[in-house]
Structure 1
Amino acid sequence: MRKLTFYLFVLALVIVDSLLISKPNLLGKIGLIIYKYHYLRTFPRTLLTVAIVVAVAIGIAELIELLVKRSVLKRATGSIVLIVLIALSFGILVKTGIDFQAWTYSHTGLRFRFGAYMLPTLLIVIFTFGLLKLPRPQQTFPESPLQPGSSSNNDLPTLP
């Protein structure tokens, strides 16, 4: 149930992010034309672009969880892979922040900038959720040294 709730929340954030990115101001619209960002010009195209990026991130996180659950990957290896993906997403967030400090992107409008910051933040949230949901290895209990019917059970003192 938690996964369903989380993914519905992610779906809502994808729609909000697409709305924000698809609504730049006039200079932002001109920039989209100049830089040939045809995949961000309309809401449906932006929604498709953001949904594909988020779906790939969810697919990677779920694949790692499945591989750890089936013992193909150790939990430590899966954790390292997800931590690296979180670090890469954080790097993309920092690069986005640096890019939007430049003159070209700084005049695209506040909504567009928030949408651009929101996508790598969404990736960080997805990979962090995947890291927290990695299955823990099942601990096996050691066998009891006293087996039923063994001769060592007969040596136990009895109460009067």
Structure 2
Amino acid sequence: MKRINFYLFITALVVLDGVLLRSPNLLGKIGLIIYKYHYLRTFPKTLVTVSLVVGVAVALAEAVRFLVKRGMWKRPLGQVVLSLLLLAAVAMLVKTAVDFTAWSYSHTGLRFRLGAYLLPAILAVVFGYAWATLPVPHEPFPESPVMKQPTPSEPSDKTTL
């Protein structure tokens, strides 16, 4: 149930990101035309674009969780893969921050910039959540050494004292 609530929260963030990215100011709209960002011109295209990016991230995270849960991958390998994906998402966030301090992107409007920051942040949250909730392999309860000792045979009625 916790994962369903988490992914509902991610879905709400995707819709919010679509709304934010779809609302640049006049200079931002001109920039979308000049740089041919046709996938951000309307709300449905923006929503599909953001949904596809986050959907691929969720699919990658769930694939790693599945492989670890089924025992095809060891947990440390899953942690390394998810850590690398998390590092890539944080690097995207840093690159976005650097890009949006440049002159051309800094005049696109506050909502558009927040939407641009939100997408890599969503990816970082998805990979971080998958890393934190990676299944721990089930280890059977160890057998007691007492159970390995031979049991004394029960006395029978035929024995005499």
Task: Return the TM-score normalized by structure 2.
Answer: 0.91
Letter in 2 for 1:93: L
Task: Return the TM-score normalized by structure 1.
Answer: 0.92
Query: Does structure 2 conserve the Cα–Cα contact (< 8 Å) formed by 1:146 and 1:153?
Result: no
Structure 1 range deviating more: 56-65 or 145-154: 145-154
The aligned residue for residue 132 of structure 1 is: 132
The aligned residue for residue 158 of structure 1 is: none
The aligned residue for residue 86 of structure 1 is: 86
The aligned residue for residue 122 of structure 2 is: 122
Letter in 1 for 2:61: A
Matched residue SS, 1:142: coil
* d(CA) in 2 for partners of 1:33, 1:116: 17
RMSD, aligned α-carbons: 1.7
Alignment of 1:1-160 (within 5 A): 1-147=1-147, 150-151=150-151
* d(CA) in 1 for partners of 2:116, 2:153: 70
Task: After TM superposition, give the deviation of residue 142 of structure 1 in Å.
Answer: 2.5
**Which has more radius of gyration?**
2
Which runs of no fewer than 5 residues in structure 1 stay unpaired? 155-160
Matched residue SS, 2:83: helix
Query: Does structure 2 conserve the Cα–Cα contact (< 8 Å) formed by 1:146 and 1:152?
Result: no
Task: After TM superposition, give the deviation of residue 149 of structure 1 in Å.
Answer: 8.2
Cα distance change of structure 1 residues 55 and 144 upon mapping to structure 2, 3 Å threshold: same
Which runs of no fewer than 5 residues in structure 2 stay unpaired? 155-161
Q: For each residue in 1:49-105, what CA deviation from the matched residue of structure 2 results, as whole angstroms up to 9, or x when unmatched?
A: 000000000000000000000001100000011011111000000000000011110
Cα distance change of structure 1 residues 50 and 149 upon mapping to structure 2, 3 Å threshold: same
Percent identity between the two aligned chains: 55
* d(CA) in 2 for partners of 1:122, 1:55: 11
Q: For each residue in 1:96-118, what CA deviation from the matched residue of structure 2 results, as whole angstroms up to 9, or x when unmatched?
A: 00000111101000000000000
Q: For each residue in 1:120-145, what CA deviation from the matched residue of structure 2 results, as whole angstroms up to 9, or x when unmatched?
A: 00000000110111100112233223
* d(CA) in 2 for partners of 1:112, 1:151: 75
Matched residue SS, 1:147: helix
Aligned residues: 154
The aligned residue for residue 157 of structure 1 is: none
Q: For each residue in 1:35-62, what CA deviation from the matched residue of structure 2 results, as whole angstroms up to 9, or x when unmatched?
A: 0000001100000000000000000000
* d(CA) in 2 for partners of 1:13, 1:5: 12
